[in-house]
Structure 1
Amino acid sequence: MPHTTPPPSLNDPRALLRHLYDVAVQRALPLHNTAAFLPPPPRGRTVVIGAGKAGGAMAQAVEALWPADAPISGLVVTRYDHTPPRPAGLKDRIEVVEASHPVPDAAGLAAAQRILQLTQGLTADDLVLCLISGGGSSLLTLPAEGLTLEDKQRINRELLNSGANILEMNTVRKHLSRIKGGRLAAGCAPARVVTITISDVPGDDVSVIASGPTVADATSCADALDILQRYGIDVPAGVRAQLERGELETPKPGDARLQGHEVHLIATPQQSLEAAAAAARAIGLNTYVLSDEIEGESREVGKVHAALARSAALGRSDFKTPCVILSGGETTVTVRPRVEGQAKGKGGRAGEFCLGMAQALNGIAGVWALAADTDGIDGMEDNAGALVTPDTLARAAAQALKVTDHLARNDAYGYFEPLGDLVVTGPTHTNVNDFRAVLVL
């Protein structure tokens, strides 16, 4: 969980940047944001289902806020080690299980099967609360007919390494699933479905978050085929044939099974950026929020941020110093082929952003930066992200670390770990995606 400290001063840039990250994460915690969107208990049953990195915290928020005398039960799946400690006295009414992210595993498959079973036999008097957050695409895996779990694992890995953006990845995932792309909501009919979601995607498109298991899908089998072809990803011949014939199509807007369903966003990247901006202004910083929808190659986005910071530091822009430049979104990392004998790189998109930024800043004075994922995990490592300081390159050179070498093998972790510049928070139990703060003094 993020730590809470008094607001730091401009004399401690590292602590200041970490404070802004903590404020952004705090704004997205489920317990602060759920109450206004909970419907009253129904005449029939209340079943809670869901998936995502915030799933455990969202389930606890519902348990804490749901009337004590109203029955409620269900099952939510979250990432391994992402279930928060249970507060003393909180009644355990919703089961939380854990599975693998970003590559699905057998535990996620079993959870998806059980969740789909919970939707059987519901009536119009029943209520389904669906708790959705980022990461649900991998955690809620139920392969389409003709696909094995091993197939889905391979396709997921290849998508993650391809440089495909989140919309492209989830378009493929929806059409290779028996539960995503509105299929879960269709299975709940005729019960009322209320989806409570935390956005981790640019633009807050609820049909993209966790591949929209309770939301109608406007993409098509043809779209999925085009993406698979574009990135050179193979699927079994039988599945390809089903896609070509449109047999794996998802429920579309206007589908009668989804009528009357509600979707509520309780936390978004923009809200977290605005919270961090308010905290920065309270410290006396000029504050500029670029966007919560920035996409592209992480290292290239890092170079663009470096150019903005350099201009501000040199007094050549409208950004007045001292200032902080904030942004969010979801960048991508295209994994480079390894040279024979080369060690595998470690790191995620936040770390790669920092590599690109450090290289482009080239040691300019007065610029610090933090990039971190708001779920506390950058890719598959144990850090949330990394820090860039004016002396990053100099300290790295003293340890014979070359930024070009680490970029070539996508090894941000191996670069920043010896410098002591990894940002390590542990799971935060929420997820509104990338957070970046660039401080120019």
Structure 2
Amino acid sequence: MNKIKDHVVTRKNLVPFILITTCFALWGFANDITNPMVAAFEKIFLTGATEATLVQFAFYGGYGVMAFPAALFIRKYTYKAGILVGLGLYAVGGLMFVPASAIGEFYPFLIAYFVITCGLSFLETSANPYVLSMGSQETATQRLNLAQAFNPLGSLTGMFVASNFILANLDDRDKAERMTLDPLELQTVKAHDLDVVSGPYIIIGLVIAVMFVLIAMRKMPQSHTNSQVMAVDLKSIFNRLLQNKKYVLGVVAQMFYVGAQIMCWTFIIHYGTEVFTAEGMAEKDAQVLSQQYNIVAMIIFGASRFICTFLLKYIRPGRLLMLLAIGGISLTLGTIFLGGMMGLYCLVGISACMSLMFPTIYGIALEGIGGDDAKIAAAGLIMAIVGGTFLPLLQASIIDGWTLDWLSGPRASFVLPLLCFVVIAAYGYRVFTIDKSHS
């Protein structure tokens, strides 16, 4: 009996575990098919980088709006109910690309992205603790790490689809050429490109609808969120959390980390396009090649996660976080001041430093927080993903408004990720010194 208890996933829970783990890949797909869409919509709707980055504002805004409502929902009902709400919103958002494409305007797409991430917020808030509950406490961490390993697979798939089925199939004409077309011809080009963009989202919407049915019909393990915990005073929970400086500063650090990640993975398209067009490459080919470098960055990100997880056996989490942030600072300086291919290599290399930041900050911030407090605290760390809304917008405004000749706008804009890594390094240093003084 103890042998069964120590299994990471028991035979009884295997199918439910597979179904929920698939959700980890599905939200990874949504996150990383969307980052390159900033460059795509900028060309399709002939906008500046700032307006096109409203894609990220809408996409990551859903996390900020829905994180706490999702946490309260699963406290009152069940993890399964939270998963189903998340999948339902995700599917609806994907299928909203049908009317958005037919309307042919930018803002219906932003609404669709917002609905998708309202669903993702429910999924992430529900799936992580649900996986932890699917077995013994002794194997909970292994079970969650196993499920999380499928998230980068979804991310890589999303990047691959964005590169090979969207960017590569857009009309060849660049932004400058499109501005010279007559209105009827421009409308034809725009309609073609919107169909190209919408196709993968509509397909994933249908896939999510199938997942919704499979999970709804399947008997799932009992999740231990019930009405008993609703009696807990939320005001008391928030007061305790606000008095926990490690947690509060962790939420701030997480917000800046997510902002840095989204900025590095979104504007690598702009950075690489500038590098490759300077070498004589056409804009469309430069964007496709830049996305290939983004895929390499994700592969490095995934590989580095295993390396950094191993290093945690020998290095305190706060110190490792600080060292990774210092590495991010150094590579971001190279991205800004080296330029060209060396700058692009530095930008790709930043992903190695970012690989373990999210789970490390997450773990540090929740350290010592238990019971019902932990559920609300975890929602706060999911809400911190809202850093992916306003920081990319600020970076895009730098790209659009930069006027100095000696440093290009895309290069100068990476001063924002640089500042993010400084904040993360400061948090890592503070945690390391506190832990060292207590040891």
With the shorter chain as reference, the TM-score category is under 0.3
- Which has a greater percent of helix? 2
Q: Of Structure 1 and Structure 2, which has the larger fraction of its residues in strand?
A: 1
Structure with the larger RCO, 1 or 2 (CA within 8 Å, 6+ apart):
2
Tell me the TM-score normalized by structure 2: 0.27
TM-score by length of 1: 0.27
